[in-house]
Amino acid sequence: MFSYYLQLGMRSLRRNPILTALMVIGIGLGIAASMTTLTVMHLMGSDPIPWKSDKLHYVQLDNWSADNSYYDDGRPPDQVTYRDAVALMEAGKADKQSAMFKLSLPIQPENKELKPFRSLGRVAYTDFFGMFEPPFKYGGPWSHDQDAGHERVVVLGKDMNEKLFGGQDSVGRTVRMDDIDYTIVGVLDDWKLRSRYYDLTNGAFEDPDEFFMPFTAAIDLKQRSTGNNSCWKSSGDGWDAYLDSDCVWIQMWVQLDSPARLAEYKSFLDSYVNEQKKLGRFPRPLNNRLLDVNEWMADQEVVSRDVQVQTGLAFAFLVVCLVNTVGLLLAKFTRKSGEIGLRRALGASRREVFSQFLIESGVVGLSGGVLGLALTGLGLLAVRALYSEYKTVAHLDWTMIFVTVALAVVSSVLAGVYPTWRACRVQPAAQLKI
């Protein structure tokens, strides 16, 4: 019966091509607008590391001035000072921990055909790799001993290894950066990161890091961060004064494997800050935070307000398209009262008539969904063109393709329920009389 009703539905749709086209285009446009924005929002905000996002915590300590808070609403600074980062690293109270910052360095390739170029990378501890789990193609992270020994080693990103060594296994070779040779210990494979969630201080959708090197080695070379630096009082002149200052420029992540560990670490942070207060630092009330990955992404508004507003408007638009479809289906089905009356008089039950017309709405929805999918593809193309930084988040994946078609069919069947119900109430006798 289903396939017969499907046939009937198709035939009925072909009979009124303009009305059908109006409905299909309406649903298609509505679906495309909402799915385009929803895809961007979903991929921007989705959990980047679902198997452990609740175990990774971003450390925030409030070392700001007694008179002004860092953010107007009282939230603590989004980075920590060098001295606090090092103190927390040395205490080693978390299951894994890494202080880190962004660094730009000139690369001097061995291959003289390549001109020197600047490269953006990251300075971190070896636990960075254990916490954020980038895939390695060759070699692996450096060791804790190499962290402690301030060794000049480096892990290259896939693209950098491609550029410098043609994608060969370069482990054991060296790369020259700012006149210093670093020994390559590992090369990353393709690290598919939608957002660079581990450092949101310069925007979440920057290019991926091209190299990683030990924090301790970079500090030896007096390398300042290429990222943000904020001070609430002058740091004083010179490098040592800067390291000792209350300027914040370092991001600090810890991995805490259980809620109990989280509670322990919280109380450790509180006692650390209270100790520092005795030294005359941390003039503000205790205001430490340990947000997990998703909380931190929400706090830093990784899903921008614009994208949220666009998504809201797109769904309102979908509602308009559906109301439009309800109206058109109603018009169409009412016109067929005669046909319905005839079928009812010949013995079709209300239920059968109901399923017939609901299937017809479903066919409209399916066609609208297919059209919507094509238009969503175009829409995402447009989003990539309009927002160059969203290239990692404006893509259809299988989940979203499925959601698109399902949303189209479900919403058009829902839109068809009332017109169908009206159609079923047709009295056979009234229609057969002339």
Where do contacts with another protein occur on this chain (CB under 8 A)? 19, 22, 25-26, 29-30, 33, 67-68, 106, 108, 115-118, 178-179, 224, 233-239, 242, 304-306, 308-310, 313-314, 316-317, 319-321, 323-324, 326-328, 330-332, 334-335, 383, 386-388, 418, 422, 434
Residue closer to another protein (CB basis): 116 or 140: 116
Tell me how far apart the alpha carbons of residues 8 and 359 are, in angstroms, rounded to a whole number.
9
Burial of residue 166 (number of CB atoms within 10 Å: 0-12, 13-18, 19+): exposed
Q: Please report how close the Cβ of residue 117 comes to another protein at its closest, in angstroms.
A: 6
Closest contact distance (angstroms) between CB of 413 and another protein is 17
**Which of residues 192 and 224 has its CB atom nearest to another protein in the complex?**
224
Instruction: In angstroms, give the least distance from the CB of 5 to another protein.
Output: 23
For the bound state, the minimum distance from the C-beta of residue 407 to another protein, rounded and expressed in Å, comes to 17
User: Quick one: which of 47, 6, 23 has its CA closest to 412?
Assistant: 23
> Least separation, in Å, of the C-beta of 93 and another protein?
31
- Which of residues 21 and 91 has its CB atom nearest to another protein in the complex? 21
Q: Which is nearer to another protein, 114 or 263 (CB)?
A: 114
Minimum CB–partner distance for residue 58 and another protein (Å):
22
Give the end-to-end CA distance of the chain in Å, rounded to a whole number: 31
Opening angle at CA 210, ends 205 and 211, nearest 5: 130
| Residue with smaller CB distance to another protein, 112 or 351 | 112
In the bound state with another protein, the residue whose beta carbon lies nearer, of 219 and 330, is 330
| Cα–Cα dist 237/333, whole Å | 81
Least Å distance, CB 369 to another protein, is 17
Residue 148 CB, shortest distance to another protein, in Å, is: 26
Instruction: Give whichever of 7 and 234 is closer to another protein, judged by the CB atom.
Output: 234
**Which of 91, 319 has the CB closer to another protein?**
319
Cβ 107 to another protein, closest distance in Å? 9
What is the spatial distance between Cα 38 and Cα 310, in angstroms, rounded to a whole number? 9
> Which of 216, 205, 185, 215 minimizes the C-alpha distance to 121?
215
**CA angle 65–66–71, rounded 5-degree value:** 60
Q: Which is nearer to another protein, 14 or 115 (CB)?
A: 115
